[in-house]
């Protein structure tokens, strides 16, 4: 007997749930970007850059919303669904957002 994990079983996509979740992530992205803009105007540039990075991550999550949320939650990693057409573009956008987030975090702690 081995302890090898079984391969992941892809769940079917539920289009209505993806649309609602994608719109919610888009609204969250806009709210975070608005707050980051107000921080930028207030002179807290590195905190604003950090939040802009998070906003970009939420925006990228809009293109594959169910899988993005399931991968972010620690107890649902094996419940991924079939990816949509734009999933690769979404993950590239999330990667760019993560890079901007890290730059903002490094700047925030390097220049207090």
Is residue 65 one of the residues assigned to a domain?
yes
Residue 1 pLDDT: 47
Looking at the domain assignment, is residue 1 inside a domain?
no
Q: Does 99 fall in a domain?
A: yes
Q: Is residue 44 part of a domain?
A: yes
Q: What pLDDT, on the 0 to 100 scale, is given for residue 13?
A: 73
Q: Which parts of the chain register pLDDT below 50?
A: 1-2
Dmax over CA atoms of the chain, in Å, equals 61
Does 26 map to a domain?
A: yes
- pLDDT, residue 48, reads 95
Kindly report, residue by residue over 7-37, the tens digit of the pLDDT: 566 667 778 888 999 999 999 999 999 999 9
Query: Pick from 55, 18, 57, 15: which is nearest to 38 by CA?
Result: 55
DSSP string computed for 8-64? PPPBPP-HHHHHHHHHHHHHHHHHHHHHHHHHHHTT-HHHHHHHHHHHHHHHHHTTS
pLDDT of the residue at 71: 79
Nearest partner of 22 among 99, 88, 86, 101, judged by Cα: 86
CA–CA gap between residue 70 and residue 42 (Å, rounded): 35
- Confirm whether 4 is domain-assigned: no
Range of the domain at 23: 15-110
- The pTM assigned to this predicted structure is 0.81
Report the number of distinct structural domains present in the chain. 1
Residue 83 lies inside a defined structural domain of this protein: yes
């Amino acid at each position: 007997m081995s302890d090898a994990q079984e391969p992941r079983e892809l769940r079917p996509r539920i289009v209505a749930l993806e649309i609602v979740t994608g719109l919610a992530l888009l609204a969250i992205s806009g709210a975070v970007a608005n707050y980051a803009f107000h921080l930028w105007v207030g002179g807290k540039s590195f905190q604003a850059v950090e939040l802009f990075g998070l906003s970009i991550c939420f925006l990228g999550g809009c293109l594959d919303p169910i899988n993005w949320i399931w991968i972010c939650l620690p107890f649902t990693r094996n419940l991924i669904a079939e990816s949509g057409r734009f999933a690769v573009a979404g993950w590239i956008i999330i990667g760019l957002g993560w890079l901007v987030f890290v730059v903002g975090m490094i700047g925030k702690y390097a220049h207090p």
